Amino acid sequence: MLTSVQLKTFIPAKDYPLSQAFYTALGFTPGWQSDEMSYFSNGEHCAFLLQNFYVKEQADNFVMHLLVDDVEAWWANVHKENLTERFGIRTIAPEDQPWGVREFILFDPSGVLWRIGQEI
């Protein structure tokens, strides 16, 4: 039987220290770090690797979809941490989507698009 344990992606960072600070403020816990890569997680089964590597075309076409238990709490954290001003990012407020998810959108400091949502 084929089973999986976890799927991780490698997220590009244009400004590696800035992106590390951004993801910590967003709500991810930093794990091990090197000059080339950092491990971030939130909960037991949600993790990614931030890499000190950037190609604009890749970052501009990179999309992450994160399902959470409480999208309004995540949205409130975006404001509490003042992410828009601190990191110069764009956000779009939570909206109910026809596919059954209430989600908001943000672009990280490198241009990676995140859709953070909750099933409704």
Query: Is 90 exceeded by the pLDDT of residue 7?
Result: no
Positive or negative, the CA dihedral 70, 120, 10, 109 is: negative
* Residue written as token pair 């890499």: 51
Share of the chain above pLDDT 70, in %: 100
Going by pLDDT thresholds of 50, 70 and 90, the confidence category of residue 3 is: confident
For residue range 17-65, list pLDDT tens digits in order: 999 999 999 999 999 999 999 999 998 889 999 999 999 999 999 999 9
Name the helix (H) or strand (E) containing 21.
helix 16-26
The DSSP annotation for 67-78 comes to E-S-HHHHHHHH
Mean pLDDT (the chain) is 96
- Tokens representing 51 are 């890499």
Strand order in the sheet with 47-51: 10-12, 47-51, 37-41, 29-33
What pLDDT score does 45 carry? 85
Q: Identify the burial level of 99 via C-beta atoms within 10 angstroms of its C-beta, where 0-12 means exposed, 13-18 middle and 19 or more buried.
A: exposed
Going by pLDDT thresholds of 50, 70 and 90, the confidence category of residue 5 is: confident
Q: What are the two backbone dihedrals, phi and then psi, of residue 18, each rounded to the nearest 5 degrees? A: -65, -45
Indicate yes or no: pTM above 0.85: yes
